Structure 1
């Protein structure tokens, strides 16, 4: 059962988190290139981020089930991963997605995306991506791993 849960957890991370990190990274430059009143690509990237962020809820749920089956719920590396995952989710939900929405609305309204807004969004997206990278590293290099790595 542990192998099945771990496989589902990894697949959910790849399928759900991967598209968010890519689409969110593509959003700021696409917003800068978008003409006023022409936010088609930007709107699509924002939708991808929103939909896959929702699907990403499966990742920590499957992670908790996997950790419970492995008996590692109290391990420091897992607690650190949980904190980093919560931070990444907070950055996405409270900073990245709302700023994307604001830029889409500005472009829909006929305005252009201000460079400062897209630069800030790119920075926040980078923080989100770095948090996920740190979680990934912890998942691979976890202390006490039985993989021998």
Structure 2
């Protein structure tokens, strides 16, 4: 059962978090093009699509920690420091997505962005991606774990 839970957890992470990471990272460049082209329809359509990807996959991404916790419970590692840190970083990543990335994208779609907006969007997307990369490294290396490599 543990292998099944772990498989679902990893597949969900790839399929749910990956699209958010890519779409959030592409959004600032599309915003720059929008500013340069004075609201061209092509850029607006791309921004709407990228935002929709982020919103939908953010919801789908809930599967990742759910199956991660189930896997951790089956491995009896819920109290391990590497897992607690991973859970905290996952919560921070989710907060960055919900409180910074998605609202920032929404503002671009509903108001006229200023010149600093693309940089702010890039910073938020970069922070989200860095947090997930750190969680991934912790999941692979499991420092201090008796099951670590």
- Structure 1 length-normalised TM: 0.92
| Aligned-residue offset at 1:3 | 0.3
Moved over 4 A (4+): none
Deviation string 1:113-137 (CA, Å, 9 cap, x unpaired) is 3220111111011111000000000
Q: CA deviation at 1:37?
A: 5.4
> What CA RMSD, in Å, does the superposition of the two structures yield over aligned residues?
1.2
Matches within 5 A, 1:110-121: 111=112, 113-121=113-121
Q: Please, which runs of 5 or more residues in structure 1 have no aligned partner?
A: none
The equivalent position to 2:49 in structure 1, one of 38, 41, 44, is: 44
Aligned equivalent of 1:137: 137
Superposition TM-score, scaled by structure 2 size: 0.92
Q: 43, 66, 69: which one pairs with 2:71?
A: 66
Q: 1:104, 1:37 → 2: CA distance?
A: 12
Q: How many residues align?
A: 143
- Give the superposition deviation at 1:145: 5.1
Where do residues 1-149 of structure 1 align in structure 2 (5 Å cutoff)?
A: 1-34=1-34, 35-36=38-39, 38=41, 39-106=44-111, 111=112, 113-143=113-143, 144=145, 146=147, 149=149
* Deviations 1:19-68, CA, capped at 9 Å, x for gaps: 00000000000111124152000000000000000000000000010000
| CA–CA separation in structure 2 for the residues paired with 1:16 and 1:67 | 19
Q: CA deviation at 1:146?
A: 3.1
